[in-house]
Amino acid sequence: MPKPRVTKQGRALLFKALRAIKKHPRSFSMATFMRHRASVRPTGKTPEPYCGTVACIAGHVVLAAGAPRVPYYKELDEALPTTIRKLVARAPYGYASVQELATRLLVGRWQNDTVSGLFNDFTITRTNVDRAVRYWLKTGERLPRKGN
């Protein structure tokens, strides 16, 4: 894969998302783009963000761009701020998935195979997400598994 061409704003959003994941690792899961998970509650001195919202890398990029927490009673697109809703309205068919919206925020286009590779890498975990994203930014590739 070629090295990803992430915009300056996209790079800032990606690092903002990584900081949120590092600070609140229970809010990260590659198994879901973005949803409310009642089991994610404040714990001790470092409360989890997003009122129980759990998201993958794409979801955290959208949250870093200003999407609000996802209350259990609302769909994401009902809760989006106006600026992001206007961006989504310009998407093909007037709708964008979390992955498409995050791709648009990172590279300025609705679809990109290199970004899709990052968003669909289910080997990324809470413990290696920072390394995996930084490696992807340098190479456009998945983080090699140990022993390869």
pLDDT for 101 equals 83
Q: What are phi and psi of 79, to 5 degrees?
A: -100, -5
Confirm if 65 and 13 have CB atoms less than 8 A apart: yes
Residue 92 above 60 pLDDT? yes
CA distances (Å), 146 to each of 29, 85, 120, 143, in order? 21, 41, 19, 9
pLDDT exceeds cutoff 50 at 20: yes
pLDDT tier for residue 26 given thresholds of 50, 70 and 90: confident
Q: At residue 47, does pLDDT exceed 60?
A: no
More confident residue, 57 or 81: 57
pLDDT given for residue 78 in this prediction: 55
Per DSSP, the three-state class of 62 is helix
The lowest-confidence range among 47-51, 67-71, 94-98 is: 47-51
25-29, 86-90, 126-130: which has the minimum mean pLDDT? 86-90
Reported confidence tier of residue 130, pLDDT bands at 50, 70, 90: very high
How far is Cα of residue 72 from the mean position of the Cα atoms in its chain?
Answer: 19
Comparing 78 with 19, which gets the higher pLDDT? 19
- Per-residue pLDDT band for 68 (boundaries 50, 70, 90) equals low
